[in-house]
Amino acid sequence: MARGRAGDFDITRNIRIIEWLKSEMLNSVAKVFSLLAGGAKSSQEALIGYLGDIIVACYLLAKRLGIHYALLDQTIEDQIRLGIIEGSDIEKSYGDLSELQRHLRESRRNP
């Protein structure tokens, strides 16, 4: 019986962490929107921090949901490649996906 209780505790704890991560993501997204609404007064340092918070929270949420970091990385790479192939608007206009793809490849080669 104690075993069941410990398992229940782990499940409850995992649910709490998932809810906390979701809240952190939403909070960071709201802060990004708020900074962007401020226009020129926006602090690039704060913006970078909140965007980083969102990315980290996404990875941690994926892990809590049973998704390995490598699978998430592969999915991101696949989505970038697909956007390039399909010629998404941001790729056609600015080449952002190709630039991101190069950045990810280079950063993995030179840790």
Residues in the chain: 111
Instruction: Mark whether 62 and 95 lie in a shared domain.
Output: no
Find the domain containing 1 and state its range.
Answer: 1-67
How large is the average pLDDT for residues 84-107? 96
Query: Of residues 109 and 78, which shows the higher confidence score?
Result: 78
Instruction: Mark whether 52 and 10 lie in a shared domain.
Output: yes
Taking only the tens place, the pLDDT of each residue in 1-55 is 445 576 677 899 999 999 999 999 999 999 999 999 987 666 899 999 999 999 9
Instruction: Mark whether 21 and 33 lie in a shared domain.
Output: yes
Find the Cα–Cα–Cα–Cα dihedral 50, 53, 55, 57, rounded to 10°.
-140
Say how many domains are in the chain: 2
Instruction: Mark whether 19 and 48 lie in a shared domain.
Output: yes
Q: Give the number of C-alpha atoms closer than 13 A to the C-alpha of residue 86, restricted to the C-beta side.
A: 9
Which pTM does this prediction carry?
Answer: 0.85
CB 54 within 8 A of CB 22: no
CB 70 within 8 A of CB 56: no
Longest Cα–Cα distance of the chain, Å, equals 61
Contacts of 51 (CB under 8 A, 6+ apart): 28, 32
Instruction: Mark whether 110 and 76 lie in a shared domain.
Output: yes
Please give the pLDDT value at position 2: 46
Taking only the tens place, the pLDDT of each residue in 63-75 is 999 999 999 999 9
Quickly state the pLDDT bin for 108 (edges 50, 70, 90): confident
